[in-house]
Every structure is written in C-alpha cells, then in structure tokens.
Structure 1
Amino acid sequence: MLNALWNPTVAGEIPLPHRLAMAPLTRSRSTPEGVPTELNAEYYAQRASHALIITEGTQPSADGQGYPATPGIYTKEHIAGWRKVTDAVRKEDGRTVIQLMHAGRIAHPDNTPHHRQPVAPSAIKPAGLTFTVSGLQEMPVPRELSTEEVAATVDDFRRAAAAAIAAGADGVEIHGANGYLVNQFLFPSANQRTDQYGGSLDNRIRFAVEVTTAVADEIGAGRTGIRISPGNPFQLNDLEESDPHELYPHLLRALAPLDLAYLHIGHGGDEELLSTLRELWPATLILNRAGADIATRAKDIEDGVADVIAVGTMALANPDLVERVRSGAPLNAPDPNTFYGGGAAGYTDYPSHAA
C-alpha cells in the first residue's frame, strides 16, 4: 500500500518526486518584523526531501498578522529572508510553496506592527483567547472592512504572491481554511455584510474566488493552490459552518475553471463531503487527514481519494520523515511545548534516524 506514496506526480507546473508533502505549521520563529532567518532556512532545508514543503502561514500585509513572530511577504526585507529559505530548500532538491494567510479577526493588536484593531468581514468578536507577546488575551471586536478595503485586500494577496515568486518560491497556497479571513467570508456567523460580499452564497464565496483569481492571474494558475477545511473545528472560534454540503461544492465549482495547481483539504471527518469534493475537483488534490497514520493516508492515494498527502506534526518532529517511512524506521515524538516560539530547541534539533 505504501508503494502508492512513491510514484511521481505534478501539482500544476510543480513536478513532485513522490506524494508525501509537508503541511503548513505555524512555528513563530521569524524576527519581530516578520523576516525569516537562517534558523528558518535550516528548518525547512532539513525537511526538503518532502515532495512539497507548504510553509507556515505568511501574512500578505501588516493587517494580516495574527500571531507573534510569524513571517510576512510584503516588504523587500521579507523577500530577502524568504530567499534564504527557498535557496536552502532548493539546494537540497526541494520545492517550496509559501502559504498566504490573512488572519482577519483571529488576531490581537499586540501582535501586529501597527497595533491597530484587527479587520474582518463584519464586526463580530470571535470567542476564545489568543496568544500574544503579553500572554493569553481575549481577541477584540474587529473592524469591518469597507467594500473598498476588501478590494484592496485582494490586491494585497496579489502583491504578496508576486513577492513570494520573487523570493524564489515555486508557488503559493491561499489559506482559505481554519477560521481565518478567507474562511470568515464564507459563513454568516462571521459575515453579515450587506454589500456584494455578504448574504447570498455567491456573495459569500466572492472574496475567496477574487483572491484566488488575482493570485492565479499574477503568478500563473499552475503555481497557485488553495486550502480549505470543511468540518475541521481547529481555530474556528465560534465560526459556524452552517451549510458545508452546499457551500464547499459551490465554491469548488467556481474555482475549478481556474485550473489551479492543487486543492488542499484539511479533512474534518465528513467522508461524504470529501467524496463529493473529490468528484468536483479536476486537478491535484492534497489531503491532510490529521491524526491518521501513514498507512491510512497512503490508502487515500491508492483509492483515488487524494493525489498527495500532507502531514503536519510528523514532519515537524522528523526532518527525515520521507526516509523513515521508506525504511520503516520509528518516528520521533513531537514536543508540543516547543511548537510555538523559541529557538532551535524543538525546531531544528530533532534527530534524524541516521544520527
């Protein structure tokens, strides 16, 4: 069954030597200004044997930042920092896709460079606490984006995609999942707008489609992916997915004609919906079935449910995961205490099996 993992494939214009990819994982180890460092380059280069590295969420603008020490891709300093990463990965024969993530209302002024109120589709406060440089705090009521600002945010994604390619990335992934800005537009629990971006199903998917179209126009559809997470409760913060069986197929019907490089699904457990989305998606489908073992994930490839599988904490804790899976070697256990922030400990010091 694991043999299915090792067949080469493509994601749009990006050739993949096999089908085991690294999922995006927030690690909060950039500079306070959001510039990737040599330590970040070492971390990603260690994992370059994955078929594709999808980076941690990277803000396309200052307003897009949600957490401390996350990277940006909207200044020349960001581009130079990411160039260190992509060069290091390419030196190890790897491929890098930078994930563009605007956090929207899942944010706090303490975490942003300008300390302004977070922005969102509507001024609806998210439930729960978020980590800040001052510790856990409640997230404030966000400021509703004007219609003009929504259009400007679409342009932020476009410019960030161009910056990612200038930084040497092989492509970008739009984060449309897990309760962040693109996801917030999709559901009335976070989007109560009365303009062309709210209300009807067509209006609520408009922002996602406009962002994706803008990015694909800028860098090429064959280098553009998008991530969704139907039914996945992670980080939703009371975002209620009221109509996933209606909304996500509608969204995919709008996105499929763009001929994107791939669709990345963070699976929430609804097998019927997953089957529907697989039927609707004509291109490469990357599936992250969180918590499942490698054999279960590989069966998704064998059964045609997915073309590529993405793994998160397994990749975090095992820089040589591909080699371990090939040889049947045991895996390192991840240390949750070092997931976010800090230095090399729990970041670049996980041992390889050979070591």
Structure 2
Amino acid sequence: MKQKRAHNFSAGPAALPLEVLQKAQEELVDYQGAGASIIEMSHRGPEYTEVDRQARERLSRLLGLGDDYEILFYQGGASLQFLMVPYNFNTGKTADYINTGTWSKKAIKEAKVFGDVHIAFSSEDSNFNRVPGDEELNFSGKGEYVHFTSNNTIFGTQFRNEPASDGLPLACDASSDFLSRPVDINRYGVLYAGAQKNAGPAGLTIVILRKDMLEKARSENVSSMLSYPTQVGTLFNTPPVFGVYIFNYVLEWIESKGGLEAMDRLNQQKAGILYDEIDRDDFYAGTADKASRSLMNVTFRLKDEALEKTFIEESKKAGMSGLKGHRSVGGMRASIYNACPQASVEALVEFMQEFRRTHG
C-alpha cells in the first residue's frame, strides 16, 4: 500500500529526507546482514564504530574541519549545552551574550550560574523581531567568548553571517540552521546543535570544539559528564546510537545533493517563494524584520487574526502539518528545513492563495 506523506512544516522534531527514512526502514530489523538492528548492538562493536567514523569524516568534509577541531556526540539537547559551555569556559569569568530570543535567554540564564554575563545586544524591546548589525554590538572587553543563537525558531530571525566578536571565539547554538549553509568555521570556538531540525532525530546533539578552546576548559573540581576534555576521544558513556546512525545518512544525503552550498541555494529559493507570497499584499504579514528573516522558520500572521484558527484547521485538511506558531507568540510558522521539499512550499503557497481568495 502506498504511504501518504503530509507536507511537514514542523519546527522540530522536523522532516527528515525520505531517502534516509526508507534506508533506515530497510535496515531496522537486520543491519547490513548482521542479523540484528544497529540499535541492538554494542556501541563498541565494529558496526557502530564504523558508523561513528563515517559520521565524523562526513561532517568534517562538509564543514571543512581541520585537525584543530574535535567532534562530540551528546545527549541532552542544546539545553544541556547552555550549561556546559559556561561550566567549561566561564566559571568565575565573563562572557558576552547576544540576546535574540527565547533560546538565547535560556542560555543566558544558565551562564549566569557560573560567571558574569555581559549582554552585548538585545532585541527584546521589539519582541525579538530582528538580529543586530555588527555596529550595534557592545562588548564587555573582557569576555572569554561571544555566544549567539544563529537561527531563532520562535521569532523567525536568523544571522545570515557570523556576527562580530571583538576578536573572541564564537560559541553558537546552531540547532535550527545547522548544515543549512556554509559557515566560517574558523570563527567558532564551540558550535553545538540539537539534531532534530536539520540533522537527525531528537536525542542527538552535535558539539564541535576547537582545540585551543579546549585547552582553556575548566580542569579543577569538574563533573566528568559535564567536562568536555573528559569526552574527547572516548566513548565515556553510551552514545545516542540511533541518532548518530541517522545523522550519518543525513550527511550522506547532503553530500549527494551537492553539499552545503547546494543546501543554501535550495533554502534561499524555497524561502523566497514563500516570502514573496507573504509580501504580495497585506492579507498576510511577516513578523520578522525583512533584513533578519530566517530561511528556516517563516513566521507570519493574518491581517484578520480571527481567521488564523481557520487557516490552521483548513491547512490540516489540505494535508499540511506543523503550521501553528509557537504557543508563546501565536500566528503561523512554516519550518522549511533542508529536508522540506520545494514541492511542499509550493503547495503551501497555493493553499495560501486559495485561502486569500475565499476569506479575503
């Protein structure tokens, strides 16, 4: 029986490439003739060891990582990294944080437990509708690193380039635009991302650490599980095996499509189609400042907000899921990560046009 797939605009866990899901489906019961699933085998056995090796090599190729970087596969999501970054690098010191939304605020809250936090910029007074220009950043002059959230899922804003950092290493929560475009990796001391947006299933967090940053990590009175140096080069505890397994296939899929440059072109094209429809007239209205608009999470409202519930209900009937905005802000949000096909974006635009015709 042919399966019916929805047009999936979920903000996360989000759509995965169909080819990856189908490959995992084929291998779930019997992984490559081993007679067992990859999630039933030892994480120290040859099967998982090879998956882990492939994932690290593919990620290194895609991001252009040199020997001066380490890759860690964690659990706990980006939320655990909000704690781990300052625990390792800011105990009793100062760090600069750029506040552009809910996740930035959560990171700031955790950082304040371990050291001083200087807010280099905040857009909270405009309901986080934009990210700053470099000229707006006001650094402390004594920070250990500059932390930012590269894409803000709730408010639909994104840094299209790395922000200025006063010569300091960047620490970045890249959860919702990880692997969607090339990055200037040498600017980063630490880059981390929950996999469940662009890279794999919930439960895996990828952490990339520059070795000179690792040398500065806290070394006294440390928790083994929270210490980055403890984790480097070891399987200190059981890794998120299934997450790494899917991640490896997602990386393979990205490479087959042409790498991060190709992903960026596709994502710009998809977002352009959708933003053009939003900007066509005043029936729909984007919520983010145009210069800060995200290519991953397109947030918008209806001129008549009373119609938004109807929009969500009718979109579901039309085979679309995940379009309801975050509960804290309302409205609509179309998350169009790497694996969201352009055909789904085009279907959404057609629905929006018909909805305008019948309700405008």
Indicate the TM-score class for this superposition, using the shorter chain for normalisation. under 0.3
Q: Normalising by the residue count of structure 2, what TM-score does the alignment of the two structures yield?
A: 0.25
Higher relative contact order (CA 8 A, sep 6+): 2
